[in-house]
Every structure is written in structure tokens, then in C-alpha cells.
Amino acid sequence: MHLHRNILSLALAAGILGLASCNKGGDFAKTKSGIEYKVFKSEGKSYSPREVSAEGDATYKDRIGKILALDVEYRTAKDSILFNSSKQQMGIPMRIELQDVKVKGGLEEAIAMLQPGDSAVFRFNVDTIFAKSFKQPVPPFMKKAGNTMTMLVKAQKVQTRDEAMADQQKAVAEQQQKAVAHAAEQSKKDDAILQDYIKKNNLNAQRDSSGVYYLVTTPGTGPKPKVGQTVSVKYTGKLLDGKVFDSSEKAPNNGKPIDFAIGVGQVIPGWDKAIPLLNKGSKAVLLIPSPMAYGQRGAGTDIPADAPLRFEVELVDVK
């Protein structure tokens, strides 16, 4: 298990947390360092405001060195979601090691204000938070959205390192079991969807034993790649409704193929299975069920969860 050593390791991504209900009514309090905050304590299924001194939580010193399990969401000033730990980790909480607060006005100070069971909304000046916590300039899109960034947090529990390790391992094992069961069920659904798509679009596609469908549109005459060999592939990726989500024609490739090794997990499983079916020089259409693509997680804002995908590919070279 990787335990995040401090809150700075929380990277920006996309998702929905569902803690926004905490941000209802009342004014923000403010620390001396400029962090605006609302902290709520859990009372069964409801929450009530909990007063926290602008100096911080006096009990925090007892938690230093322990591991905090928490859910986190970041939002822009316009309320666009930047990162959601619950979605990114499929419901498994983030875990961070609590340390002395050395920098005031950043994420570390905010987290130090929380007790187990608390939910909170923190609002930071965007210039301050990027300088102090992310150690980088404010991205233009963040600056354009406004002068603040909001963090919503649900602090679950504080544990020793051994307790956190055991909980994490148990959660990951349970998640893997659920993922296997979901993938098996979703594969059946996706196969029916792909067969219907093939019929409606009059495609003479073949089905590989892995569940991937492929249609060679321009046969190649070169060798088929083997596991471990590096290939160069041009591609356009689409959802089944025709929406393009990625292409080697776009930046940063700008028409150049991408290179990757076959069978070592550098690409989605569907590509590792399908590309070796093609001879060098072939052009083909690949129809990939979601468990062989991006599965339950999806990818960013363009590829939804459980989405079968269509790729138009050209196997340019086998090295």
C-alpha cells in the first residue's frame, strides 16, 4: 500500500464526491493565514456546525504520525470539479500521514483542523494555494474561473500505520472481487451492444476469444507482432455514437504514430489482444468491450464508465 506522506500528493483529476451538501448556509470563518472554512460534525445521518478556533484544533498534536482516511474533492471558483478521490479510487478513501504543520495557509493546515467524522468546506485564495501547496503557477483555466479554489473533505478515521495498512489491503481485495464480478457481467452486456452495433453498421467483423471484435479494412503484408515487440500505430478512438475522444492526428502526436510494446500493459488490454491479430501495414476497425478498455472508471470527461469503444487503427511498423 502506498500511504500518501502529505496532503500535497493529492493530484488534480476529475470526479464527483457528493459532499457539497455541507456547503449550505452560514458564513465562512477564517484562519489568521487566510483559509476560509466551515466544519461540520457528524450526528448520525445529519451534520451540525462545529466551531474550530482560528488557531487550529488543539487535539491535532495527538494525531501527528498517525494515518487519516479521508475523501477529498477540489472545485474551481465556478464550482467545476477538478478532482474526486472517491471516484478515482472506486470508493476506497485516500490515506495520508499527519505531520506537523510547517506551512500556514495551505492544505496541511486545513486538514489539521479536522477531527475523525468531520466534514468540511475550505476556500483558498488560488494564488496562495498553488504557491504554498502545489509549488507551481496557477493554471490559466483556474485563474480564469476566479480567485478561489474550494476543497470539500470527509474525514473518516485516524489509525496507526498497521491498522491503515490492514484496512487498505482488505478494501483493495474487496474492490478486486467486485471488479471481477462486474467485468464478467458487463462483458455480456457489451457483447450484445457490439453485436447490435455490427449488425446496424453492416460490419463484417470477427470476434477474438478475448471478446474484442476486429475488421481488417486494408490488409497488410508484413509480419504480425509478438509479445514484447514494439509497434507503431496510428489511431482514432471513438465512442459508439461516433464522438471522437482521441486521435494520433491531434496534438501532441500531430499525425505521427504512437509506439508501445505489445503485451506488457502499456495500452488498454483490448489493444494488447487486438493489435497482434494484424499484419504490419494493416488498417482495421477494433470494437472493444469496456472491461478490455477503461472499465468502470472511464477516462476523464470523454469516456464514460462501462463504455465500449471503436478504434480505427493502422499498424505502421513492427520493430
Domain boundary among 159, 177, 199: 159
Residue type at 185 in one-letter notation? E
Same domain, 207 and 300: yes
Give 79-88 pLDDT, tens digit per residue: 888 888 887 7
Same domain, 123 and 83: yes
What percent of the chain has a predicted confidence (pLDDT) above 90?
A: 69
Instruction: Tell me how long the chain is.
Output: 319
- Give how many domains the chain has, as a whole number: 2
Nine-digit cell at 309? 469503444
Residue 116 covered by a domain: yes
Q: Inform me whether the pLDDT recorded for 260 exceeds 60.
A: yes
Give 10-65 pLDDT, tens digit per residue: 333 323 333 444 444 458 999 999 999 999 987 777 778 888 887 888 899 999 99
In DSSP terms, which residues pair with 160 in a beta bridge?
Answer: none
Q: What residues make up the domain containing 77? A: 7-159
- Write down the pLDDT at residue 13: 30
Tell me the mean pLDDT in the region 106-110: 93
Same domain, 154 and 204: no
What backbone phi and psi angles, to 5 degrees, belong to 108? Answer: -60, -45
Residue 181 covered by a domain: no
Nine-digit cell at 294? 477503461
- Write down the pLDDT at residue 154: 94
Top pLDDT among 310 and 87 is at 310
Q: What is the CATH number of the domain that holds 17?
A: 3.10.50.40
Tell me the mean pLDDT in the region 296-304: 84
Same domain, 23 and 72: yes
- Write down the pLDDT at residue 26: 57
Same domain, 15 and 139: yes
Same domain, 228 and 151: no
Residue 243 covered by a domain: yes
Same domain, 12 and 123: yes
Place of cell 504514430: 257
Same domain, 137 and 212: no
- Write down the pLDDT at residue 2: 36
Same domain, 130 and 24: yes
Q: Inform me whether the pLDDT recorded for 3 exceeds 70.
A: no
Q: Inform me whether the pLDDT recorded for 247 exceeds 50.
A: yes
- Write down the pLDDT at residue 23: 44
Residues in Cβ contact with 154 at an 8 Å cutoff, skipping those fewer than 6 apart: 17, 19, 70, 71, 118, 119
Cα(118)–Cα(121) distance, rounded to whole angstroms? 10
Cα(113)–Cα(60) distance, rounded to whole angstroms? 7
Residue 177 covered by a domain: no
Q: What secondary structure does DSSP assign to 38-99, as a single string?
A: EEEEEETTEEEE----TT--GGGGGTTTSEEEEEEEEEETT--EEEEHHHHTTTPPEEEE--
Same domain, 20 and 146: yes
Give 200-242 pLDDT, tens digit per residue: 999 999 999 999 999 999 999 999 999 999 999 999 999 999 9
- Name the pTM for this structure: 0.63
Residue 171 covered by a domain: no
Give 138-194 pLDDT, tens digit per residue: 989 888 999 999 999 999 999 999 999 999 899 889 888 988 999 999 999 999 999
Q: How confident is the model at residue 8 (pLDDT cuts 50, 70, 90)?
A: very low
Q: Inform me whether the pLDDT recorded for 92 exceeds 60.
A: yes
What backbone phi and psi angles, to 5 degrees, belong to 74? Answer: -110, 140
Q: Inform me whether the pLDDT recorded for 9 exceeds 50.
A: no
Same domain, 244 and 144: no
Residue 303 covered by a domain: yes
Assign 274 to helix, strand or coil.
Answer: helix
Cα(43)–Cα(9) distance, rounded to whole angstroms? 30
Burial of 15-43, coded b for 16+ CB within 10 Å and e otherwise, reads: bebebeebbeeeeebebebebbbbbbebe
Out of 3-7, 26-30, 296-300, pick the least confident: 3-7
Burial of 58-69, coded b for 16+ CB within 10 Å and e otherwise, reads: eebeebeeebbb
Domain boundary among 144, 159, 174: 159
- Write down the pLDDT at residue 112: 94
Tell me the mean pLDDT in the region 119-129: 93
Cα(115)–Cα(135) distance, rounded to whole angstroms? 27
Cα(84)–Cα(71) distance, rounded to whole angstroms? 8
Same domain, 149 and 15: yes
Residue 2 covered by a domain: no
